[in-house]
Amino acid sequence: MSERFTGSFTQQEPIPQAGIDAAMRVLQSGRLHRYNVAAGEHGETALLEQEFAAMVDAKYCLAVASGGYAMATALRAVGVKAGDKVLSNAFTLAPVPGAIAAVGGVPVFVGVTRDLTIDLDDLAAKADQASVLLLSHMRGHMCDMDRLMAICGAAGIKVIEDCAHTMGAKWGDTHSGRHGVMGCYSCQTYKHVNSGEGGLLVSDDDELMARAIMLSGSYMLFERHLAGPPKEAYAQIKYETPNISGRMDHLRAAILRPQLADLETQVQRWNDRYRAVEQGLADTPGLTVIKRHAKESYVGSSIQFLLEGWNGEAVNAAIARCAARGVELKWFGGAEPVAFTSRYDSWRYAPSEAMPGTDEILRGIVDMRLPLTFSESDCAQVARIIRAEVSAVYQAS
């Protein structure tokens, strides 16, 4: 009898007891708003910002309501206005072009390679079309950041990094989010730390972070930010910057701080599970495992593979066969958006030109979450099921 996987692909680990205890202290105090602190108290949100800035070697950090809000705030902070073009990945999730649209910008989509990273040749060809790149490290895959920054530096392009899937990852010795002028992270349930929703924004630039803090809704309480620029940075900005409230509260910050403290251990656990699936899928007929760059240290909270050259009927058949055995796969090549999977040509609020090379790659991308509630043996079982069902469809087609 064929084995069947019985785990849940959406079940997360519980919040650590230290986070629950800290959350209870916040609830018992009644002071959830980040600026509602007692005399001599800094508050969970300011402490979280300080700790995350230290973790990624950033001067400044701002905690906000979501990763999408962090991206839109970064775009506003660097000066993107209605009608401005912004370069971004064609292979990403909808909050990325959504952030561009939220500030009135117009995305210029850049292609994807077989490594699932932004196509740097296409970026170089389009570098004269915009002065900002919102770079998505989609599904945790980082491109050659040395070459990307060289291209952008030569063209005068400001880089904002979307690190929703790369918190805890590095390119060489540099943390994800620390190459560009601003880095944006998500704390949504399915990311590397979990507060349900939430985001973090980092920068070394006094002016950009002062603007971001004012945008987030600091009123004139910016001096309460332990990881913010000096008050002199706000001298003119405080009069010119609108309040677009999106602050993180103490309750979410209290939940997050113990998770951040344990992130390095969690990254290792994710990568152990990633490698179990990766090894199990190696040399599967018709299936291409994504190669990781030697300079990239990643967080394997999800895994992707390519079914190159397959038609839609065959891909759907493989996904359905895996689903019947308890393995949930998502396909980025479908003509219609499903759940979180969508393509650049389905975001009709963002005009796009046909990209045949990128379309061919998107048609083959299959994605799977790897929650830490799975054991390594669970992951080996999942890989066996995928291997068997993909091979069966491939051999029959």
Q: Is residue 159 a contact partner of residue 78, using CB atoms and an 8 Å limit?
A: no
Q: Rounded to 5 degrees, what are φ and ψ at 319?
A: -65, -40
Q: What is this structure's pTM?
A: 0.96
- Rounded CA gap, 35 and 63, in Å? 12
Statement: residue 219 has pLDDT above 80: yes
Domain boundaries, the chain: 17-261, 263-396
SS3 158: strand
% of the chain exceeding 90 in pLDDT: 93
The pLDDT value recorded for residue 342 is 82
Query: What does the pLDDT look like over 53-104, one tens digit per residue?
Result: 999 999 999 999 999 999 999 999 999 999 999 999 999 999 999 999 999 9
Model confidence at 253, in pLDDT bands (50, 70, 90)? very high
Q: Which of 224-238, 246-260, 349-363 has the lowest mean pLDDT?
A: 349-363
Model confidence at 106, in pLDDT bands (50, 70, 90)? very high
Question: Where are the extended beta strands (E) located within the chain?
Answer: 60-64, 85-89, 106-110, 132-136, 158-162, 170-171, 174-175, 182-186, 199-203, 288-289, 296-297, 302-306, 330-331, 365-369
Query: What does the pLDDT look like over 368-395, one tens digit per residue?
Result: 999 999 999 999 999 999 999 999 999 9
SS3 215: helix
Query: What does the pLDDT look like over 319-336, one tens digit per residue?
Result: 999 999 999 999 988 877
Statement: residue 49 has pLDDT above 90: yes
- Mean of the pLDDT values across residues 300-328? 96
Query: Buried b vs exposed e over 183-213: b needs ≥16 C-beta within 10 Å?
Result: bbbbbbebbbbbbebbbbbbbebbebbbbbb
- Rounded CA gap, 305 and 368, in Å? 9
Q: Which helix (H) or strand (E) holds 357?
A: helix 356-362
- What the block records as the tokens of 34 is 């980040």
Q: If phi over 0 gives left and psi between -120 and 50 gives alpha, with beta otherwise, what is residue 168?
A: left
- Rounded CA gap, 302 and 93, in Å? 14
The pLDDT value recorded for residue 299 is 98
- Mean of the pLDDT values across residues 326-348? 86
- Mean of the pLDDT values across residues 104-133? 97
Q: Please give the CATH number for the structural domain made up of 263-396.
A: 3.90.1150.10
Model confidence at 303, in pLDDT bands (50, 70, 90)? very high
- Rounded CA gap, 73 and 215, in Å? 7
Length of the chain: 397
- Rounded CA gap, 367 and 345, in Å? 19
Q: What angle do CA 337, 188, 203 make, to 5 degrees?
A: 110
Half-sphere exposure of 3 (CA within 13 A, CB side): 13
| Chain centroid offset of residue 32 CA | 26
- Mean of the pLDDT values across residues 276-301? 96
Half-sphere exposure of 216 (CA within 13 A, CB side): 33
More confident residue, 336 or 141: 141
The pLDDT value recorded for residue 337 is 77
- Mean of the pLDDT values across residues 231-251? 97
Residue 348 has a CB neighbour count (10 Å cut-off) of 7
Statement: residue 160 has pLDDT above 50: yes
CATH 3.40.640.10 is right for the domain spanning 17-261: yes
- Mean of the pLDDT values across residues 356-366? 94
Statement: residue 1 has pLDDT above 80: no
- Mean of the pLDDT values across residues 158-177? 98
Q: What angle do CA 208, 212, 213 make, to 5 degrees?
A: 120
The pLDDT value recorded for residue 2 is 82
Least Cα distance to 167 among 198, 144, 146 occurs for: 198
The pLDDT value recorded for residue 272 is 98
* 173 CB-near residues (< 8 Å, 6+ apart): none
**Beta-ladder partners of 302:** 369
- Rounded CA gap, 187 and 341, in Å? 19
Q: Is residue 366 a contact partner of residue 331, using CB atoms and an 8 Å limit?
A: yes
The pLDDT value recorded for residue 335 is 75
Statement: residue 341 has pLDDT above 90: no
Q: Is residue 45 a contact partner of residue 34, using CB atoms and an 8 Å limit?
A: yes
Least Cα distance to 285 among 380, 386, 391, 366 occurs for: 391
- Rounded CA gap, 58 and 61, in Å? 7
C-alpha distances in Å from residue 62, one per residue of 33, 69, 160, 210: 15, 11, 15, 10
Model confidence at 246, in pLDDT bands (50, 70, 90)? very high
